[in-house]
């Protein structure tokens, strides 16, 4: 796969060079105002490099991490093994992530993508502007203690303004905060199902039916409880609202 991608990149670069009449493929020009403009070939190369990082950006800089962890813990608490399947959980997490991140994506499109497509700003400036909505979203979900920890590890000084926090510190701080929040929600989800397991196990032991697995008896009761309280609506609603508080 890597060889195919490399071949496509080299083919694209060579075709662009031929179309340019023998000009250099990778050029950086200094403008009159002191700024720098990049050749089309270099912009395409940078764009393709960014595209390879999109899965990691989407997974680690959005609400996807919290959602998929909570859904996985929910399946474990229900004790339904592979039901729903991992593909279904990932699909739910993806569409819920699109719903939650829609305001952020819209702002990125309006402030960065549209001006770049209209040639009102260069690619470097567009990438910088596009990072602002993501920074605002991640900063709102990040705990101050996590920021201080990673800032201390990196040896940087304290930041007076949230805009001064570099992405190298903000992203891992956001991830650790998301993991902690996801496990806190998962713990609250686990409690009622754990109580059902304990009650069923106690009843079976008092009846002397120790050879019968409590999971077989408790599973229908846990599913019934989850359906009666409209569990999917509660879980999805709680996850979505947790990003807007």
SS (H, E, C) 189-224: HHHHHHHHHHHHHHHHHHCCCCCCCHHHHHHHHHHH
Query: Alpha-carbon dihedral of residues 127, 129, 131, 136, nearest 10 degrees?
Result: 180
Q: What is the pLDDT of residues 202-239, one digit of tens each?
A: 887 777 776 767 777 788 888 888 888 888 888 888 88
Give the pLDDT confidence score for residue 183 in this predicted structure.
Answer: 92
The C-alpha angle with vertex 71 and arms to 88 and 144, in degrees rounded to 5, equals 135
* pTM, entire model: 0.72
Give the pLDDT confidence score for residue 112 in this predicted structure.
Answer: 78
Name residues of the chain where pLDDT drops below 50. Answer: 1-26, 28, 35, 38
Residue the block writes with tokens 């699909």: 91
Give the pLDDT confidence score for residue 49 in this predicted structure.
Answer: 67
Q: What is the pLDDT of residues 94-107, one digit of tens each?
A: 889 888 888 888 88
Give the pLDDT confidence score for residue 114 in this predicted structure.
Answer: 81
Give the pLDDT confidence score for residue 11 in this predicted structure.
Answer: 38
What is the rounded CA–CA span in Å between residue 118 and residue 99? 27
At residue 63, the 3 state secondary structure works out as coil
Going along 71-127, which residue ranges are E strands?
A: none
Give the pLDDT confidence score for residue 77 in this predicted structure.
Answer: 86
Give the pLDDT confidence score for residue 46 in this predicted structure.
Answer: 63
């Amino acid at each position: 796969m890597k060889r195919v991608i490399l071949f496509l990149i080299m083919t694209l670069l060579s075709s662009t060079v031929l179309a340019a009449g023998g000009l250099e493929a990778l050029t950086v020009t200094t403008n009159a105002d002191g700024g720098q403009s990049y050749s089309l070939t270099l912009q395409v190369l940078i764009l393709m490099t960014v595209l390879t990082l999109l899965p990691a950006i989407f997974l680690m800089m959005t609400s996807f991490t919290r959602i998929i962890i909570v859904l996985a813990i929910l399946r474990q608490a229900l004790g339904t093994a592979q039901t729903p399947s991992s593909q279904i959980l990932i699909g739910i997490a993806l569409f819920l992530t699109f719903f939650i991140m829609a305001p952020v994506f819209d702002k990125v499109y309006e402030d960065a993508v549209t001006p770049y497509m209209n040639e009102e700003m260069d690619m470097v400036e567009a990438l910088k502007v596009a990072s602002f909505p993501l920074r605002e979203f991640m900063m709102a979900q990040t705990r101050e203690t996590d920021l201080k920890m990673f800032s201390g590890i990196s040896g940087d000084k304290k930041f007076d303004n949230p805009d001064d926090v570099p992405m190298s510190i903000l992203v891992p701080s956001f991830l650790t905060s998301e993991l902690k929040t996801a496990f806190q929600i998962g713990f609250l989800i686990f409690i009622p199902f754990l109580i059902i397991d304990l009650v069923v196990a106690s009843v079976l032991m008092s009846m002397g039916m120790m050879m019968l697995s409590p999971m077989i008896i408790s599973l229908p009761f846990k599913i019934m409880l989850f359906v009666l309280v409209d569990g999917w609506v509660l879980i999805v609603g709680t996850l979505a609202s947790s990003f807007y508080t």
